[in-house]
Amino acid sequence: MENYKPPFAITNEILSYVSSISEKIGRITATGNLESKLYLRKNNRIRSIHSSLKIEANSLSLGQVRDVINGKTVLGEQKEIQEVKNAYAAYEKFFEINPYSIQDLKKFHGIMTKYVVKESGDFRRGEEGVFNGDRCIFMAPPARFVSQLMDDLFDWMKEAQDSIHPLILSSVFHYEFVFIHPFSDGNGRMARLWHTAILSKWRPVFEYIPIESRIEKFQNEYYDAIAKCHVDGASTFFIEFMLSQIDKILDDVSVQISEDNEQLSECIKRLLDAMEYNIPYTSKALMEKLGLKSKEGFLRNYLRPATYMNLIRMTIPDKPNSRNQRYIKV
């Protein structure tokens, strides 16, 4: 029996996007700006988590998602709060993912859906459909075929990884995964996580590129592309759609890095340079390190802006004026 090959065509538009994305990601990687900015990477990861969950109807705001991740108390549905905790736990173990392993796929689905999905970490046993809100786009294949379909998809990926560009392969996987819909819940989240995992094996900086934020912004177009491919019987249009979104998000990230470089004042740079990671400092100790006398000037120009930008965190965030307050570089 001939090995399964997902149906798609490589168009001139796809090749053009592959060239453009490769050039842009090369520039971002060469400068090292994103890798060196821990706070920017963390903010992008939070954006990824918020966007991916919002697509799945999680109602928590970006600020609430950030607060959950930072360990603060958030008023909201327990299920939605748990989804944030799960997603963050999965992204924190991102570097462990082997995107060509079904065992890893199930493991990370277990992390992503812990306490919120009954069949967490296992393929579905019931029938499922692909929905955009209340609208059913198509019914997924029967549950009895899921295991074989996933084996076929992963066998193809392993075989194709050296001959098909990761930008194309990851998009094909994304569509095929959504079509198979192997889990009872969390398929969208896993498709987007795995898409990024495949790309990160090609260029590690993709771990901190919030592709999910573009999909969330163009959610209807995302589902329309999936629906069109289902009718066409090939993933070509979805590949073009995803590459167009990745191409645009790289423009956004480049602007983000440029603006961040301009906005980061000399005062904040001095403060960060004076601090070691994971060491708690009193405000007095930091003023001494910086040779400052005015506490009000220190708070206004150094500490408050750095805290607001999530460059440093308080050890007692609920009591900002506590005499036991310490500050840690993040």
The predicted pLDDT at position 1 comes to 46
100-120: pLDDT as tens digits? 999 999 999 999 999 999 999
Sign of CA dihedral 306, 64, 200, 227: negative
What whole-number distance in Å separates Cα of residue 235 and Cα of residue 258?
A: 35
Q: State the pTM of this model.
A: 0.79
What whole-number distance in Å separates Cα of residue 85 and Cα of residue 7?
A: 37
Along the 330 residues of the chain, how does pLDDT read in single tens digits?
A: 468 999 999 999 999 999 999 999 998 887 656 766 677 788 889 999 999 999 999 999 998 999 999 898 899 999 999 999 999 999 999 999 999 999 999 999 999 999 999 999 999 999 988 887 788 888 899 999 999 999 999 999 999 999 999 999 999 999 999 999 999 999 999 999 999 999 999 999 999 899 999 999 999 999 999 999 999 999 999 999 999 999 999 998 888 777 666 666 788 888 998 999 889 999 999 999 999 999 988 988 889 888 877 789 899 988 888 999 999 998
Tokens of 179: 């079509």
C-alpha distance across the termini of the chain, in Å? 54
272-305: pLDDT as tens digits? 989 998 899 999 999 999 999 999 889 888 898 8
What whole-number distance in Å separates Cα of residue 307 and Cα of residue 314?
A: 8
Sign of CA dihedral 263, 268, 270, 276: negative
Q: What is the DSSP string of 145-203?
A: GHHHHHHHHHHHHHHHTTTS-HHHHHHHHHHHHHHH--SSS-HHHHHHHHHHHHHHHH-
- Beta carbons within 8 Å of 330's beta carbon, 6+ residues apart: 38, 39, 42, 277, 310, 311, 312, 313
Alpha helices by DSSP H, listed for the chain, are 12-31, 33-36, 38-55, 62-69, 78-92, 102-112, 146-160, 166-180, 187-202, 211-217, 219-232, 236-263, 266-274, 283-290, 295-298, 304-308
The predicted pLDDT at position 264 comes to 63
Q: Are 128 and 184 in contact (CB under 8 A)?
A: yes
